[in-house]
Structure 1
Amino acid sequence: MTTPTLVFISGGVRSGKSSYAENLSIQIADETNSHLHYIATGVPSDQEMEERIKMHKDQRLTQNKKWITWEKADGIGELAPHFNHRDVLLLDCLTTLVNNEFFLNTGETVDCIENRIFTSIERLQHKCHTLIVVSNEVFFDTTYDTKLVLPYKKLLGRLHQRIVKQASYAFRVEFGTPIKMKGDSL
Structure 2
Amino acid sequence: MEKAPVYFITGGVRSGKSTFAEKTAQELARTNSGTLLYYLACGRAQDEEMQKRIELHRQSRQNSVIPWQSGEFPRNIDNSIPLYNKQTIVLLDCLTTWLDNELFSLDSELSEQHLQNVFEEMMGNIETVRMHCFSLIVVSNEVLHEPLPSSEIVQAYQKTIGRLHQELVARSNQAYLVESGIPLMMKGSK
TM-score band (shorter)?
over 0.9
1:35-46 matches, cutoff 5 A: 35-46=36-47
What residue is the counterpart of 1:17 in the other structure? 17
What residue is the counterpart of 2:173 in the other structure? 168
Q: Distance in 1 between matches of 2:82 and 2:60?
A: 27
Deviates more, 1:75-84 or 1:150-159: 75-84
- 1:3 CA drift (Å): 6.5
Q: Distance in 2 between matches of 1:107 and 1:3?
A: 32
Q: Is the contact between residue 9 and residue 170 of structure 1 (CA under 8 Å) also seen in structure 2? A: yes
Change (3 A) 1:27 1:6: same
After TM superposition, which residue ranges in structure 1, 4 or more long, deviate above 2 angstroms?
80-84, 105-108
- Of 153, 161, 173, 1:156 maps to 161
Normalising by structure 2, we get a TM-score of: 0.92
- Of 168, 177, 181, 2:182 maps to 177
- 1:165 CA drift (Å): 0.4
For residues 140-185 of structure 1, the C-alpha deviation after alignment (integer angstroms, 9 at most, x for no partner) is 1113221211100110010000111011110000010110000122
AA in 2 matched with 1:146: S
Q: What stretches of structure 2 of length at least 5 have no aligned partner?
A: none
Q: Distance in 1 between matches of 2:78 and 2:137?
A: 15
- Of 108, 119, 122, 1:117 maps to 122
Q: Distance in 2 between matches of 1:162 and 1:120?
A: 13
Normalising by structure 1, we get a TM-score of: 0.94
RMSD of aligned alpha carbons: 1.4
**Residue 133, structure 1, aligned to residue 134, structure 2:** no
AA in 2 matched with 1:8: F
Deviates more, 1:105-114 or 1:48-57: 105-114
For residues 14-40 of structure 1, the C-alpha deviation after alignment (integer angstroms, 9 at most, x for no partner) is 100000000000010111120000000
How many residues matched? 184
Change (3 A) 1:158 1:3: closer
Q: Distance in 2 between matches of 1:133 and 1:106?
A: 27
Deviates more, 1:106-115 or 1:149-158: 106-115
SS at match of 1:148: helix
- 1:78 CA drift (Å): 1.9
1:78-117 matches, cutoff 5 A: 78-107=79-108, 109-117=114-122
SS at match of 1:134: strand
Q: What stretches of structure 1 of length at least 5 have no aligned partner?
A: none
Identity of aligned pairs, percent? 37
What residue is the counterpart of 2:32 in the other structure? 32
Q: Distance in 1 between matches of 2:62 and 2:82?
A: 26
